[in-house]
């Protein structure tokens, strides 16, 4: 279970020195410090479920979500999340893994995000279409559909049949809201122009 330092201190209030007890619990691996002021009691907690607790509000997206949905096949070790209202990329190395948070436009942030629950943990994850648009948003500028194809199929390792199985209406809704040529090229490619 994820707990902040106030909650941990409250649970240990009957000890003479709650802060010393926290140190003992950390040494015995009964309490894992994720980052300053944030703890987890379960060493086997799924890393992706901790994304929003580490830094947020955020949702799983980019390559991590594409891998989650089997859209790309190369294993992704960095847990990638989208945030808005932040100016720069944030990184956190924790006992549960490396987390990378990248900003997306406020205009797209609330759309096409689902909530998953597993073993008492809940987290948000972008839809496959949104994860792809988020990935294209942060990618280097692409000049044309040929470069887009190269990025999708060669760099990301997507298969065209998987790309064509995505919901065009969702991409049609999202793509213009990013204000980037990359997402508009995706829409152009899917609509066959």
Per DSSP, the residues of 101-119 read EEE--TTTTTSSEEEEEET
- 97, 43 Cβ separation under 8 angstroms: no
Close Cβ partners of 101 (under 8 Å, ≥ 6 residues apart): 55, 58, 80, 81, 82, 83, 86, 89, 90, 91, 92
Residues of the chain with pLDDT under 50: none
Domains and CATH numbers, the chain: 2-40 (no CATH), 48-190 (3.30.460)
Token code pair at residue 6: 């106030």
* pLDDT (0 to 100) of residue 193: 53
Say whether 113 sits in a helix, a strand or coil: strand
Adjacent-strand bridge partners of 90: 101
């Amino acid at each position: 279970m994820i707990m902040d330092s106030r909650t941990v201190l409250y649970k240990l209030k009957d000890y003479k020195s709650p802060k010393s007890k926290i140190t003992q619990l950390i040494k015995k691996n009964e309490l894992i410090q994720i980052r300053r002021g944030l703890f987890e009691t379960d060493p086997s907690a799924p890393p992706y479920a901790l994304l929003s607790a580490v830094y947020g509000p955020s949702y799983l997206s980019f390559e991590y979500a594409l891998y989650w949905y089997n859209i790309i096949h190369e294993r992704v070790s960095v847990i990638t999340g989208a945030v808005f209202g932040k100016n720069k990329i944030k990184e956190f190395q924790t006992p549960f893994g490396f987390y990378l948070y990248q900003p997306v436009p406020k205009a797209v942030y609330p759309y096409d995000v689902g909530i998953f629950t597993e073993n008492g943990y809940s987290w948000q994850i972008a839809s496959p279409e949104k994860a792809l648009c988020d990935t294209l948003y942060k990618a280097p500028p692409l000049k044309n559909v040929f470069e887009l194809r190269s990025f999708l199929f060669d760099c990301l390792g997507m298969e065209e049949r998987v790309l064509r199985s995505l919901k065009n209406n969702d991409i049609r809704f999202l793509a213009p809201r990013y204000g980037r040529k990359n997402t508009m090229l995706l829409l152009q490619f899917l609509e066959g122009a």
